[in-house]
Amino acid sequence: MSDIREKVILVGYNLSPSETASLSKKDVVAFVTEVGGPTSHTAIMARSLEIPAVVGLKGIDQLFRSGAMMIVDGQAGVVILDPDERLVREYTRMRSNLREASQALESLRGKTATTRDGHRVCLGANIEMPTEDVSVLSHGADEIGLFRTEFLYLNRDDLPDEEEQFRAYRRVVEKLRPMSVTIRTLDLGGDKFSSALGMPEEVNPFLGWRAIRFCLARPDIFRVQLRAILRASAHGKVRMMYPLISDLEEVKAARAILEEVKEGLRREGRPFDEKMPVGAMIEVPSAALAAGAIARRVDFFSLGTNDLIQYSLAVDRVNERTAHLYNPFHPSVLMLIDHVVKAARAAGIGVGLCGEMAADPATAFLLIGLGLDHLSMAPLAIPQVKQVIRLTNYREARRFARRILAMESAEQIAGEVRDNHERLLARESKGRPKKKTRSDDQT
């Protein structure tokens, strides 16, 4: 990808997360792939990098030719080949309208995400790379809710040493200070692989040797990252969380290694935050159901709903054939979220959500009503979600969530969520002062 020197739309069978991470928005204006789903890591990274993308489009090799003119509509999931002048004008106008809408929300950048009845929600940004600090600040994030660290291990044949990792983490922490930065420990495996780690090919990689399982099996690699994160904590507000926790024993094992690493840093006289909060990502149904026990051993929860939905519904989120079964409004998924929030509240720890659900403005009302006080998303999504929260009444949201939890159909829930969102926006539009027209001025 490094040899691209002109503005292009990339078209291919697949783009791995590591290849996606290497794309430059300056040269790659969009991409289209034959495989993948809307919640695959490649699609998530595209949103984070603000590159329009359509994934899971069949028959690419027969449909497209090099040098062809096309329109990629990432919002609608549509690709238009050889558009006529009318369509080009229409999409140019749509792009202009989107920019105007985005600029209209810029006034919210310095404002808090506080409901009309005074309930504060913290909006975080999910980032892939240290260079995303500009996007985080320009879109008005309150914190970094998820700093993915896999970029350090991808597209290379060796492992990053402690100093390289420390410098990368410190850069983000210092650039965004006094923001809190939540660093997720290594989550390779699934659809993210590093040749330097010698990870074996697996029949079911999403159910295999990945995330915390890999780290506990390779404490030599895990310790290096923990040392780097702890050292970065001396330079600002840092939180750390373990991905894909499936039971309490994994939390205990990770904590034991962390304590060993802390003791080593103390002996060396290296500074770090002794009280750095350590959390667990709840992405597996077993962890969600055992949330009460896990909550007593961690400082916070972060619901990773992309994986939680996948594992709860037995749906491969990268497989376009099953993408229609992937449903964040499935009653079972919402019941698990509700259970985790209640367990966190009972234990007196914080709980947030950093999956793609958080980026949907229409879903924000429901998530607030379920009791989530931290929502983290791609920076680009923050202004719209903040707008919805500022239109929301917290007590109404709580009542709405209770009503939703009593429903039995995902279709019914999705309809209620969309209808509620439309009512909310209509109510705001109705209450907004009417713009003056020329005839108004003349009367």
Q: Which residues are catalytic?
A: 41, 354
How is residue 426 written in tokens?
């209509």
How is residue 279 written in tokens?
């959390």
Short-list 280, 290, 278, 336, CA closest to 312: 336
How is residue 331 written in tokens?
């009653």
**Nearest 10 degrees: CA dihedral of 384, 385, 391, 393?**
170
3-state secondary structure at position 189 = strand
Short-list 224, 242, 236, 303, CA closest to 276: 236
Contact 351, 316 (CB under 8 A): no
Contact 326, 39 (CB under 8 A): yes
Contact 70, 64 (CB under 8 A): yes
Instruction: Determine the Cα–Cα distance for residues 326 and 5; give it in Å rounded to an integer.
Output: 37
Q: How many residues does the chain have?
A: 443
Q: What angle do CA 123, 386, 121 make, to 5 degrees?
A: 45
Which whole-number Å values give the CA distances from 401 to 230, 283, 338, 356, 361, in the listed order? 38, 21, 9, 19, 15
Between the two ends of the chain, the Cα-to-Cα distance in Å is 61
Task: Give the single-character DSSP code of 247.
Answer: S
Instruction: Determine the Cα–Cα distance for residues 28 and 354; give it in Å rounded to an integer.
Output: 27
Q: Which residues pair with 375 in a beta bridge?
A: 123, 353
3-state secondary structure at position 121 = strand
Element (H, E) at 119: none
